[in-house]
Amino acid sequence: MRMREEEICKKALGLKFQSWQDAAGITTHLKQPPTMDSVTIKLFLPRGDAKSLRTAEISNWTGKAIAAPRTELDELILRPELDKAGVYILSGTDPLSGSPRAYIGEAEVVRERLRQHKAKEFWISAIVFISKDENLTKAHVRYLENRLLTEATQVGRCALEQNEASGAKLPECDREDMEVFFSHIRQLLPVLGSDLLIPFSQPAAKQQSGGILFCHMKGAEGQGHRTPDGFVVLKGSTAVLEERKAAKRWPNVVALRKQFISDGTLIQKDGFYHFTRDVQFSSPSAAAAVIEGGSANGLIEWKTKNGTVLKELDEQT
């Protein structure tokens, strides 16, 4: 009987595992998301505008995403799909700090919950995930909300309106089904303009030769690599304590270092500043400048262990 239940669940999910214990391993909360298989995504733009209301679906998936700017909230909540249970993400900017901010929620009737969020001032866009076959229950969406909150907190790209969710206990087969659903949410979010679940340290899909790169200045050592969004300096890297005299000509560098010190990204220890988290920069030069305390040419300052500079690596690709 036990084997029969396993085969039913495996067939329903379209997954192949060596054992039932392997399947249960999907639920492990990973800081780095697992490698995804290729998928076909269908985007529909009712107004022909990629910034306007849009829907997204993945081939052979029962879920559906609907995204819209706040200016089209009334149109969004009138869509028939929102008369179902689902999870949603409201994204915007904190009015005081200027940093990205998000609210993650769930509801049995998403339409009614979104109406209640008109009072929240910060958000400018909404993304909703529902099931086309109406198989998402209150327990399912509570589970998905908890997964979204957990992973978004780990990634740390946005300040979250809430820090925890009650979650839900699901039967084993349902739990694995929701993990598959969640993996598709993770795939669709960047397509819909949200990097909520993309780790800062996630390398580019096409790996650059050289591996981790290093930046040295007066005993400080930065470690990092290129990413789809620019360049990331990894947690544990160090930066010099004092800016160079010429740094006053580069106020952005000084201001950024002060911001990192203020928010705890850089802490002083053993004669250096230490990075307490992975930090995304717009370019290798911006990253090197914070480490070195002044302007820097990142294409030359970042090197492999063997001394090959980033500029040479770029020319090889």
* Span of 29-43, 63-77, 215-229 with lowest mean pLDDT: 29-43
pLDDT at 97: 66
pLDDT at 147: 94
Q: What is the DSSP letter of 52?
A: S
Q: Do residues 145 and 104 touch, judged by C-beta distance below 8 A?
A: yes
Q: For the chain, give the number of residues.
A: 317
**Residue type at position 85:** A
pLDDT at 205: 43
pLDDT at 242: 92
CA distances (Å), 44 to each of 48, 50, 56, 128, 193, in order?
8, 9, 6, 15, 14
Q: Answer whether residue 190 shows pLDDT above 60.
A: yes
Measured CA to CA, the distance from residue 237 to residue 201 in angstroms comes to 13
Q: Backbone phi, then psi, for 269, in 5-degree steps?
A: -160, 130
pLDDT at 208: 56
Q: Answer whether residue 297 shows pLDDT above 50.
A: yes
CA nearest to 109, candidates 82, 91, 133: 82
Q: pLDDT tens digit string along 87-132?
A: 999 999 877 666 789 999 999 999 999 999 988 889 999 999 999 9
Q: What angle do CA 40, 186, 166 make, to 5 degrees?
A: 140
* Span of 148-152, 202-206, 299-303 with lowest mean pLDDT: 202-206
Name which residue leads in pLDDT, 20 or 139. Answer: 139
Q: Answer whether residue 311 shows pLDDT above 60.
A: yes
pLDDT at 16: 33
Q: pLDDT tens digit string along 121-171?
A: 899 999 999 999 888 999 999 999 999 999 998 888 888 887 566 677 899
Q: pLDDT tens digit string along 240-288?
A: 999 988 888 888 889 889 989 988 899 999 999 999 988 888 899 999 9
Distant-in-sequence, close-in-space partners of 238: CB < 8 Å, separation ≥ 6? 219, 220, 221, 222, 272, 273, 274, 275, 291
- Cβ burial of 276 (10 Å; 0-12, 13-18, 19+) is middle
Q: pLDDT tens digit string along 169-183?
A: 899 999 999 999 999
Q: Backbone phi, then psi, for 105, in 5-degree steps?
A: -145, 175
- DSSP labels, 191-210: HTT--TT--TTPPPSSPPTT
Q: Answer whether residue 25 shows pLDDT above 80.
A: no
Measured CA to CA, the distance from residue 157 to residue 278 in angstroms comes to 10
Domain spans, the chain: 7-29+39-191, 213-316
Q: Which of 11-20, 22-31, 107-116 has the highest mean pLDDT?
A: 107-116
